[in-house]
Amino acid sequence: MGQLENQTAVVTGAGRGIGRSIALKFASEGADIVCVSRTSDNSEKVATEVRALGRKAWPYAVDVSDANAVSAASERILAEAGRVDILVNNAGVTRDGLLMRMSEQDWDTVLDTNLKGAFLFTKALTRAFIKQRSGRIINVASIIGLIGNAGQANYAASKAALIGFTKSIARELASRNITANALAPGFIETDMTASLNPEVRAELLKKVPLNSFGQPEDIANAAVFLAGPSARYITGQVLTVDGGLVM
C-alpha cells in the first residue's frame, strides 16, 4: 500500500518538470491527481500518464493568477473528486532581468503566478480542508527565495513571500489538523536549467557540495514525505532540496 493511498491531490503546474514529477510520484503512492496546467494539452498529457499508473486523474487548464478561473475550477474539482486531501502549489514562471531594466509587466507576471496563484488556490480549498479537519498544503518555493539572485528580483521576491505565506497559514490552520510546508529546490534538471550554456552550468555546479544538479524526482520524493503520514507533526517548515548549496 502506498503512502498516499486513496487520497486526492491537486497539483498546479503539473504539465511538466517538477510538477509532473510530483503528480506521477503521488500517483505511484496511491493518490488520485487533479492535474492543473495552463494548457489543456499539458494537463491532459499528465492525466493520461497518471491513469496509466492505475489512478484517477482530472485534467484542468487554469491560469492560476485568475481569481475567477481558480474559484470556478476549485468548485468543479470538489464536485468531481469528492474531496481534496493535498494541495501542491507548484505553478511558477520566471521573467529574469536586472532591476533597472525590469518592466512592471515582468514583475507583475511573476508575482501573480508564483505568489497570487498559491494564495488563490489555497484560499479556494481551505474551507473544504477545515470542514474535513485535515489537509496538507505544500508550496514549492526556491532557494532563490532564501538567498536572492542577481537578475531575479521578481522571482526571489515571489518565492520569499511564498515562504512567509506558508508560515502564516501554518499558524492559522494548525488547530484544524492542516499542515503547511514549503519546499525550496536548488538547481534542478528542468527545461529552465537545460537552456543554460555549459560555462554557466559549470559555475553553478561549483557552488553545490554534492557536485550535481538535482532531478525532479528528488523534489517529488520530498513532497511525498511532507504529504505522507511521517510528516504528521511537521508544519510551517522550509525543506531545502539543493545538494547542500544553502546551509
Q: What is the pLDDT of residues 166-216, one digit of tens each?
A: 999 999 999 999 999 999 999 999 876 777 788 888 888 999 999 999 999
pLDDT score of 57 more than 90: yes
Residues 6+ apart with CB under 8 A from 121: 10, 12, 64, 70, 74, 87, 89
- Model-level pTM greater than 0.95? yes
The catalytically annotated residue of 60, 155, 165, 213 is 155
Active site residue 155: yes
**Residue 178 exposed, middle or buried by CB count within 10 Å (0-12, 13-18, 19+):** buried
- 103-147 pLDDT per residue, tens: 999 999 999 999 999 999 999 999 999 999 999 999 999 999 999
From residue 218, alpha-carbon distances to 66, 74, 123, 175 in Å are 30, 28, 28, 30
CB atoms inside a 10 Å sphere around CB 195: 8
User: Up-side HSE of residue 4: CA atoms within 13 Å toward CB?
Assistant: 32
The domain 8-234 having CATH identifier 3.20.20.70: the answer here is: no
